[in-house]
């Protein structure tokens, strides 16, 4: 059985940066956002279903899902959000399971932005690691990389689990309001701990 650590956190908390550090230290990283992108890029397995569900208006001229158009659509229409999740989530989970089963690292970092919000995901991991940052810093980071307005970013944050809810279920926490070096030190300490836990879990 693979030792799987579910890593989660709000938008702009630094999940990807933490996952990159774990990968650098040798862990296998399975990222559900990356899988979702692969499924909805040109030639992706989800595209025919997206086109039939939502129409050609949500497919770009290059044959990929129009992410901006879809994001606006699902944030304004809860039924559309539910339909998209019902389509994508089983496909993402199936591909994630395949990658976890084939992993070769000492343990798996399973990146799930909505780990707390998604029912059934808790049973798929041995530990929950929350990457935490103050909301104002989340907004600043997302604004810098995406060009979204503060109002749009805070709307996304409001639809995610509250910081307190995530921290309440965390087995481990990375406090990511400082430098990259501070993040690396926390990841290194957790890497050492997870390697020992993974060995114990096998014995």
pTM above 0.75, yes or no: yes
pLDDT score at 44: 94
Q: Looking at the chain, how many residues does it have?
A: 203
Q: Could you give the CA distance from residue 89 to residue 94 in angstroms, rounded to a whole number? A: 9
**What is the per-residue pLDDT across 132-181, written as a single tens digit (0 to 9) for each?**
999 999 999 999 988 889 998 998 898 888 889 999 999 999 999 999 99
Q: What is the pLDDT of residue 120?
A: 65
pLDDT value for 161: 87
Using alpha carbons, select from 97, 153, 147 the residue that is nearest to residue 125: 97
User: Average of pLDDT values for 186-199?
Assistant: 97
Q: Predicted confidence band at 192 (pLDDT cuts at 50, 70, 90)?
A: very high
Least confident of 31-40, 111-120, 164-173, 191-200: 111-120
Q: pLDDT per residue over 110-128, tens digit each?
A: 999 888 877 667 788 999 9
- pLDDT at 119 (0 to 100): 65
Q: How many CB atoms are closer than 10 A to CB 181?
A: 7
The per-residue pLDDT for range 51-92, each reduced to its tens digit, is: 999 999 999 999 999 998 998 898 889 899 999 999 999 999
Q: Give me the residues paired with residue 127 across strands.
A: 5
**Average pLDDT of the residues in 11-19:** 94
Q: Which CATH number fits domain 1-27+105-193: 3.30.230.70, 3.40.50.300, 3.30.1280.10, 3.30.1490.190?
A: 3.40.50.300
Angle at CA of residue 87, ends 59 and 37, nearest 5°? 55
DSSP 8-state class, residue 8: E
CB 13 within 8 A of CB 136: no
In the numeric block, the tokens 């780990």 are attached to 115
């Amino acid at each position: 059985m693979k030792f799987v650590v579910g890593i989660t956190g709000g938008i702009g908390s630094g999940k990807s940066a933490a996952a990159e550090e774990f990968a650098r230290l040798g862990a296998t990283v399975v990222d559900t956002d990356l899988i979702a992108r692969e499924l909805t890029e040109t030639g992706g397995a989800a595209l025919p279903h997206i086109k039939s569900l939502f129409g050609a208006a949500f497919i770009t001229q290059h044959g990929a899902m129009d992410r901006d158009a879809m994001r606006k659509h699902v944030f304004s229409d809860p039924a559309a959000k539910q339909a998209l999740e019902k389509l994508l989530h089983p496909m993402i989970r199936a591909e994630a399971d395949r990658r976890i089963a084939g992993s070769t690292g000492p343990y798996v970092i399973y990146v799930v932005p909505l780990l707390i919000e998604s029912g059934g995901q808790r049973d798929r991991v041995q530990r929950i690691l929350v990457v935490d940052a103050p909301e104002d810093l989340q907004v600043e980071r997302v604004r810098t990389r995406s060009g979204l307005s503060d109002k749009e970013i805070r709307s996304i944050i409001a639809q995610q689990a509250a910081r307190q809810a995530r921290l309440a279920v965390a087995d481990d926490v990375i406090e990511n309001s400082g430098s990259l070096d501070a993040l690396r030190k926390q990841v290194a300490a957790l890497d050492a701990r997870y390697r020992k836990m993974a060995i114990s879990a096998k014995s």
